[in-house]
């Protein structure tokens, strides 16, 4: 694999791992932290958007890292046959 493909894949993988760690850390903080007055209201539920969003972005980054460079124009030309 060339460096043109591995550097973006590594960056995407690092971003995905970082977002997963953030999602886990935020979830632990919400679960183990002291309950606040707003935890039962709408404001308390909004706090859960951060770990859910970070986890979703992490999955998207992992998926993008796996498929990055798989659909290059040279692959399309190699698959075609001339009769």
Residue 21 is predicted with a pLDDT of 97
Query: Does residue 38 have a pLDDT over 70?
Result: no
pLDDT band at residue 6 using 50, 70 and 90 as cut-offs? confident
In the chain, what is the greatest distance between 2 CA atoms, to the nearest angstrom? Answer: 73
Rounded CA gap, 39 and 74, in Å?
A: 54
Residue spans per domain, the chain:
3-78
pLDDT in tens, 41-83: 667 788 899 999 999 999 999 999 888 877 655 544 555 566 5
Q: Residue 15: its pLDDT value, please?
A: 94
């Amino acid at each position: 694999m060339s460096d043109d493909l591995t550097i973006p894949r590594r960056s995407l993988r690092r971003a995905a791992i970082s977002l997963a760690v953030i999602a886990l850390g935020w979830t632990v903080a919400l679960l183990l932290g002291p309950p606040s007055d707003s935890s039962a209201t709408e404001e308390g539920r909004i706090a859960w958007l951060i770990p859910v969003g970070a986890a979703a972005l992490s999955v998207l980054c992992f998926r993008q890292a796996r498929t990055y460079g798989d659909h290059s124009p040279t692959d399309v030309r190699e698959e075609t046959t001339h009769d």
